Amino acid sequence: MGDTPSFDPSSLDELVDINSIPWSPLFIFIMVVAVAISLLVAGLVAYSVRRFRARPGGGVPRQDFGNRNLEIAWTAAPAALVIFVFGWTFLTMRTTPTPGSDLPDGRRPDIVAVGQRWWWSFHYPESGVTVANEIHIPAGRRVLVQLTSDEVQHNFWIPELGQKMDMYPGKTNYLWLEAKEPGIYHGVCAEYCGTQHAWMRLIAVAQPEAEYAAWVRDQQTAPLPVAEPLPQLGRAIYIARNCGSCHAIATVSEGQAGPNLTHFGSRLTISAGVLTNTPENLAIYLRNPQAVKPGIFMPNFRLSEEEIAALVAYLESLR
């Protein structure tokens, strides 16, 4: 058990296109069969209802106890059907890269994803980049994601880009992701993980290779300190309020309990999808994070409006 047929990375391109799995012939086939069987049964019921309705003077119908041959036939037919679909499933699985617990030979993960309550941390081992709640991937290239969790079980799923796989503390799973086209793809945590499971969302931004490379370079460098006074003040408040005990910002703080904020200003959403990232929304969030996303581990600091304005200016400048 457990010894997956190994996937030769060089032949990956010949494998079934994971991106198209939802529309693969196998899926279309089982959908068509499901609809056909449902319609068949509904049709037979409807027909019987009309044709064999009791009529006055209808008498006693023929007492038919069964027919062995017929019954063997309608047992054998579905059996043949499921064996056929099983065979097809088997072949698809051999050629579909969903490695699960088994790391494909000779591959290192491109992204290490760690589920947190209720946000995501992502690390790119190759480039040393750490981000939160939003990943960037090169369009048209298959990336291998390693999945683990910090405390409770989560599940990583971007419906349009690949299948879903659980994340456990103390266990590693792997999953292929591939975006055919550049674009923005929504993902979710698909395994119930407590109070804010609903707002444990993520975003994958698929970019053309060159853009992606530029993004990686951007992420590797700490954002330039901004000269204006308001962000400067914000930075001071960030330090004074000890935000850094939970958050990391390159060259400023190294907290781990919350999302990495180094390039927070460039992210699309706040707090794993609960708000879109605009200065107004960030102000709402900082005014009382517990009102926006109740139950999270980001406390309400009861900041003054001035502090909030300064923090917003600072955080949004981190691009």
Partner 1 sequence: MTAKTARDVPLVPEPTVALPSLRSTEGRLLWLSSVDHKQIGIMYILAALVFFLIGGIEALLMRVQLATPNGTFLSPQLYNQLFTMHGTTMVFLVGMPLVAGLGNYLVPLMIGANDVAFPRLNALSLWTLVFGGLLLHFSFIAGGAPAAGWFAYPPLSQRTFLSDSGVDYWGIALLITGIGSVGGAINLIVTIVTLRAPGMTYRRMPPFVWLTLLTSFIILFALPTLNATVAMLLLDRQLGAHFFTPYAGANPILYQHYFWSFGHPEVYILVLPFFGIISEVIPVFSRKPLYGYAFVVGSSIAIFFYSFAVWGHHMWAVGMGFWLDLFFAIGTFLIAVPTGVKIFNWLATLWGGQIRFATPMLFALAFLVQFTIGGVTGVQFAVIPFDRQVTDTYYVVAHLHYVLYGGSIFAFFAGFYYWFPKVTGRMFSERLGKLTFWLMVIGFNLTFFIQHVLGWVGMPRRVYTYLDLPGLAVMNLISTLGSFVLALSILTFLVSIVHALLRGAPAGDNPWDAYTLEWATSSPPALHNFAQVPPIRGRRPLWDLNHPELADYRRAGDAVGEGTGSRKEARTP
Query: Which residues form the interface with ligand HEC (CB under 6 A)?
Result: 118-119, 132-133, 196, 238, 241-243, 245-247, 257-259, 264, 270-272, 286, 293, 296-299, 301, 311, 315
Binding site for Cu ion (CB under 5 A): 154, 189, 193, 200
CB of 251 to ligand HEC, least distance (A): 17
> What is the smallest separation between the CB atom of 264 and ligand HEC, expressed in angstroms?
6
1 near partner 1 (CB under 8 A): yes
**For residue 100, how many other CB atoms are within 10 A of its CB?**
14
Closer CB to partner 1, residue 11 or residue 63?
A: 63
Strands 165-167 and 143-149, sheet pairing: unpaired
Q: Is 3 helix (H, G, I), strand (E, B) or coil?
A: coil
Question: What's the longest Cα–Cα distance across the chain?
Answer: 97
Distance between terminal CA atoms of the chain? 47
DSSP 141: S
Contact string (CB under 8 A) for partner 1, positions 235-274, x = contact: --------------------------------------x-
Q: Residue 201 CB, nearest distance to Cu ion (Å)?
A: 10
SS3 state of residue 239: helix
26 in contact with partner 1 (CB under 8 A):
yes
The torsion angle over the Cα atoms of residues 297, 301, 302 and 307, rounded to 10 degrees, is -130
At position 36, the amino acid (one-letter code) is: A
We find the least distance from the C-beta atom of residue 236 to partner 1, in angstroms, to be 34
Residue in this structure with the two tokens 């069969």, named with its chain if needed = 33
- When computed from its CA atoms, the radius of gyration of the chain, rounded to whole angstroms, is 27
Identity of the residue, 45 or 239, whose beta carbon is nearer to partner 1 in the bound complex: 45
How many residues interact with partner 1 (rule CB under 8 A)? 91
Q: Which is nearer to ligand HEC, 229 or 299 (CB)?
A: 299
Residue 257: both structure tokens together: 């309990």
User: Does 25 sit near partner 1 (CB under 8 A)?
Assistant: no
Which range touches partner 1 (CB under 8 A), out of 194-202, 221-229, 251-259, 307-315? 194-202
**DSSP code per residue over 174-219:** EEEE--SS-EEEEEEE-S--STTGGG-EEEEEEE-HHHHHHHHHHH
63 binds, among Cu ion, ligand HEC, partner 1, none (CB under 5 to 8 A by kind): partner 1
* Minimal distance, residue 190 CB to Cu ion, in Å: 8
